[in-house]
Amino acid sequence: METGFDWIGRYGYGAIFALLMLGIVGLPVPDETLLIFVGYLSFKGTLRLEPAVVSAFLGSVCGVSISYALGRFVGLPALIKFGHLIHLRPEHLAQGHRWVERWGKYSLLLAYFIPGFRHVAALVMGASLLNPKVFAMYAYTGALIWSGSFIGLGYIAGEKWNQLFPILHRNVIAVIILVLFALGSVIALVLMRRTPR
């Protein structure tokens, strides 16, 4: 995790993009932690909020698109056989398949908020040959909500950003409430910045 913090501190927006892309594809990157840290750096003025959100969004979109393409062009049997190369076990795929069967295309919106399901949902959707336009609409909307809300949490928390982790890991309902609060706050902040005084 320190390496990710160092990379973002040193390379800024490019590191945000690359780390989130790799994390969504399935490499062990602490995505939410890094997003909250990015929000904190935006609060401090080290990074600008809007380019930080755009970099995180584009990295997430790129990563989820790669996962979708892997599922679509490689297929589930090959993913089951070679999934261990991207830390993907057969039981993860089975859970992801059940999740997708239950929630359908909406699972692409929800999966971002459940660690481990982000790339699995995209892989399963790709393997099920979901229409690319439908995939893009739901997955990219989810990417914007997810990245913007966690960056917003870090921005709102400011110097207390690292106190969010125990809350985030303890209670899913708390995460949802915090994310909704952060999302509303970020939208209000962006609107206030764009409104002429």
DSSP code per residue over the chain: -HHHHHHHHHHTHHHHHHHHHHHHHTS---HHHHHHHHHHHHHHTSS-HHHHHHHHHHHHHHHHHHHHHHHHHH-HHHHHHHGGGGT--HHHHHHHHHHHHHHGGGHHHHGGGSTTTHHHHHHHHHHTT--HHHHHHHHHHHHHHHHHHHHHHHHHHGGGGGGHHHHHHH-HHHHHHHHHHHHHHHHHHHHHHHS--
d(CA 46, CA 91): 41
Backbone angles phi, psi at 27, to 5 degrees: -75, 155
CB 99 within 8 A of CB 106: no
For residue 192 the two structure tokens come to 């206030």
Residues 27-68 have pLDDT tens digits of 778 888 889 899 999 999 999 989 999 999 999 999 999 989
- pTM, full prediction: 0.78
Residues 139-192 have pLDDT tens digits of 998 899 889 888 988 888 888 877 776 666 555 555 555 666 666 665 666 666
Q: Beta-carbon neighbour count of residue 167 at 10 Å?
A: 13
Residue 142, amino acid: G
CB 17 within 8 A of CB 11: no
Residue 122, amino acid: A
Residues 100-147 have pLDDT tens digits of 677 677 777 777 877 667 777 888 888 877 888 988 998 998 899 889
